[in-house]
Chains A and B, each alone.
Chain A
Amino acid sequence: MRIRPLVTVLVLPIAAILAVPAMGFTVANETRTQVHTVLIEGMRFQPQDLTVAAGDTVVWVNRDLVPHTATSPSGRFDSNEIAPGTTWTHTVRNTGEFGYICTYHPLMKAILRVK
């Protein structure tokens, strides 16, 4: 009979404390973001049409011998110059469909869809 209060006082609070990070981990799993890669190679964005979720990160990797940009004409994002052999990382926040180009090579076009 004397043990029960001890359980109430010591064990339950400890269990509650342990449960907090466990619950937090579950939430984190549900909202886990992804990293996507767009290769810039052969004077093209690959893939040219990419769908991601809001909060995801997109990495543009320039494998060409010349500089490029990934620029949304609407002003939603702009990498500025991505030198050959370098990358630009951008985390997307807003949903929508964003066409983008390389400002140096305006015939290079692609679209980023954020859901």
Chain B
Amino acid sequence: MKCSLILAAGLFLLPVGGAAQGISDAQIAAIVVTANQVDIDAGRLAVERSSNDKVKAFAQLMVSDHSGVNKAATELVTRLKVTPQASPTSQALQAGGDKNLAHLKTLKGAAFDKAYVDHEYAYHQQVIDALDQTLIPAAADAELKALLVKVRPAFVAHRDHAKSLQSSRSDER
């Protein structure tokens, strides 16, 4: 619950629907890079700390996939000569990510795995909502918008993967 509240504090700062025009492409770029980096950092911690093979493999996948997405995003904004610009949303995402890491570091074993996977499910759902309601509608550059559309299925796949880990954990009880 604590992690979800931290997460919500970041992504709920995003305006929705008609208010989306308030975000610039430079701010969107920073939000995307931060959103990926936050998940990479959590993944690295889980690779190091988890003793569950499935959770560890998932965490490694998060590191790999989000690094790939960030690489593509960075290449695009560099080519477009867009300099990512911090915003209250990207700053809150980073702060939320830091707090999540601090919380996870207090946990061990099954409690760590549960907190990590639960957060991953909620985090990816929140990012999907942000993509649908704010980031994609607000993106002005066609290539940036296309990139956001292209990365969305990866977030969906990760959310569903986290859900399957939650389900398998329930089955093991």
Contacts and interface: CB of A to CB of B under 8 A. Distances in A.
A binds B: yes
Interface of A: 42-44, 64-67, 84, 104-108
B157 A67 contact: no
Interface of B: 61, 64-65, 68-69, 72, 150-151, 153-154, 156-157, 160-161, 164
A44 B160 CA distance: 13
B72 A65 contact: yes
A107 B58 CA distance: 12
Nearest to A103: B57
Contacts of A44: 153
Given A43-B157, A66-B68, A107-B164, 7 more contacts: A43-B156, A65-B69, A66-B69, A66-B154, A67-B64, A105-B161, A106-B161
A107 B68 contact: no
Nearest to A83: B68
B157 A105 contact: yes
Contacts of B164: 106-107
Given A105-B61, A106-B161, A43 B68 contact: no
Dominant SS among interface residues on chain A: loop
Given A84-B68, A104-B61, A64 B154 contact: yes
A66 B65 CA distance: 5
Given A84-B68, A104-B61, A65 B157 contact: no
A105 B162 CA distance: 11
A20 B157 CA distance: 56
A64 B65 CA distance: 10
Given A65-B69, A65-B72, A66-B68, A107 B153 contact: no
A69 to B, nearest CB: 12
Contacts of A105: 61, 157, 161
A104 B157 CA distance: 11
Nearest to A81: B64
Given A43-B153, A43-B154, A104-B61, A65 B160 contact: no
A10 B6 CA distance: 93
A108 B64 contact: no
A107 B154 contact: no
Contacts of B156: 43
Nearest to A108: B157
